[in-house]
Structure 1
Amino acid sequence: MKTHPQIKLSCIIDDDIIYVNLVKKIIRNKNLSEKLVIFRNGEEALMYFKSNLNNFPTTSFPEIVLLDLNMPVMDGWEFLKKFRKLKNNNDFSTSLFVVSSSIDPYEINKAKSDSIVTDYLIKPVKMDAFEKLFRIAASS
């Protein structure tokens, strides 16, 4: 089995329980991340990031974020807008991947053109694609 740099902390922001459980299993089985935090909407995730800023840099931020676009309370687009402000005003490094079932070219291009989005992946994502994006995030 190949070893690669492991992510210390990763984050899933998605309300699809089946998808979240599948990704959790892949991350655990492939040993891609030491810890994983999961949020069901952008508001929960944003509150987490904001609360950790008070303890930064002693508190680590997720090195990789997997963000869904369509969620209740605060969707992925609103999260991106608020997260961008947070990231621009603070010095932390995070690779953010939009992971959505949307194949709408407008949404794909809008997400990919956002400066804080590393890439856009369409659900369902294959296991080797998850391994690849974790390797990318670990090496950056």
Structure 2
Amino acid sequence: MKHSQLTDAAQAESEAFTKRERFAHYEDITNAVIREYVRIKSLHPVIAQSFDPNPVTASQKLTLDLIGYKIDIEKATEYALKDRLDLQVTWFSLALDKPVSPELREEVIWKCGRIYGARNLAPWRYWRRGSDCAVTTR
């Protein structure tokens, strides 16, 4: 094999690895955002908290910050999956731990992960942002 062929092969392998790394990063972000969305959706309104005898849920209140984060997730997801009802259904199937086709799952991760990352919606980034660094919604 010639040197140029080896260089081209090495570059193609490097780009593929970078793509795999990027996908893994988007997958982590998307999974974390979906888990946090499901958690927030399961919380009771603050008014109901004072009457909840369960000590586990009593400590978890649906605050305005959580409501804002949920809305940011919804807006970003709507933007990422616009005009693709099949991907929207897939997103909710992922949230409900239902089986989905690998192709649709991958497409949701590529589309949502990119937007979630750009908007700092990963929980570990979102909650660390300063009050002057509002997440933008398009």
**Structure-2-length-normalised TM-score:** 0.27
Larger radius of gyration: 2
Bigger proportion of residues as helix: 2
**Structure-1-length-normalised TM-score:** 0.27
- More relative contact order, 1 or 2 (CA 8 Å, 6+ apart): 2
Bigger proportion of residues as strand: 1
